[in-house]
Amino acid sequence: LLSHRLGLYRNAYDNKLEEGQDPSFLRASLAQLNSTCAPGTCWSYQNVAYDASSEMVSRTTGMSYEAAVKRYLFNPIGMSSGSVSMAGLQSNKSWAKPHSAGRRPEPIVDTYYKVPAAAGINSNIKDMALWMEAQMGEMPDVLDAKLLDTIHAPYVVTPTERGRLRKFLERLGTAWYGYGWRSYEYAGHRIIGHRGGIKGYRSFILFDPVKKSGVVALWNSDTWQPGGLEFEVMDQLYHLPFRDWLELNSRPGVNTREIASADPDIDSGSGDSADAPRSTGRGRR
């Protein structure tokens, strides 16, 4: 489940979720789908199915998923901006409004808040930096080394990821998926991260757990123009020769609408200013 190896076709029932159907009902119907492979033998990203983990958390803790996340993650890490609902986002006095790649305001929708374990988290950039610190082992009282090793472990190779990141193949090696986390071989180093979005928001996180350094970015637009910044940061960290991964020098007239229309294989959402909570869960890809 957590490594997306259920044997279902990619993003199963996301279309029905977007039509307004109940995710619990949709999950109960997944068994009716034809399998693409035996469970555990192939990789295909899911949202509706992945959110079964929110039900597991609720049953195990006896709390709502939101209450459990706040008690066991947000509060001990210090993520004071964190929330798990559209109301939580909009209740903040300064929240980032969603926009299209063409800078037009977009209506905010609650579709993916209905699958909170997959795509329902709000946070700001300061708190996401704290989240990254915890993932790098800097808060062992919250996330201990054994747990981090378990969730970051490379359980399945994802060759399609290399295809989507093909412009980085000069330095990017094998790509894997763990429990909710991607990992890569990059210029001889192992790095861990994730990226993605929902309508009007985008984000990425990428870090080296050994060097305990990384980068997080959040923005309230459908454009993927900032893509590549994370690898420029990694290149600086490893003292590698400069590569214009952002293509700022070679593409003076970047067409953000064209970039947004491409398939970036997205998994989470984001916002714009350091003090403005925004949607940052794992969303559609």
pLDDT in tens, 217-250: 999 999 988 999 999 999 999 999 999 999 988 7
> Of 75, 122, 125, 89, which Cα lies nearest the Cα of 275?
125
Rounded distance between C-alpha atoms, residue 240 and residue 238, angstroms = 5
pLDDT for the residue 276: 42
pLDDT (tens digit per residue) in 70-105: 999 999 999 999 999 999 999 988 999 999 998 899
CATH architecture type of domain 14-279: 3-Layer(aba) Sandwich (3.40)
Structural tokens at position 210:
């050994």
Residue 269 has pLDDT above 90, yes or no: no
Q: Record the pTM.
A: 0.88
Name residues whose C-beta falls within 8 Å of residue 272's C-beta, 6 or more positions apart in sequence: 96, 218, 219, 220, 221, 278
User: Average of pLDDT values for 167-176?
Assistant: 98
Rounded distance between C-alpha atoms, residue 202 and residue 230, angstroms = 14
pLDDT (tens digit per residue) in 20-56: 999 999 999 999 999 999 999 999 999 999 999 999 9
What share of the chain has pLDDT > 90, as a percent?
A: 83
pLDDT for the residue 196: 87
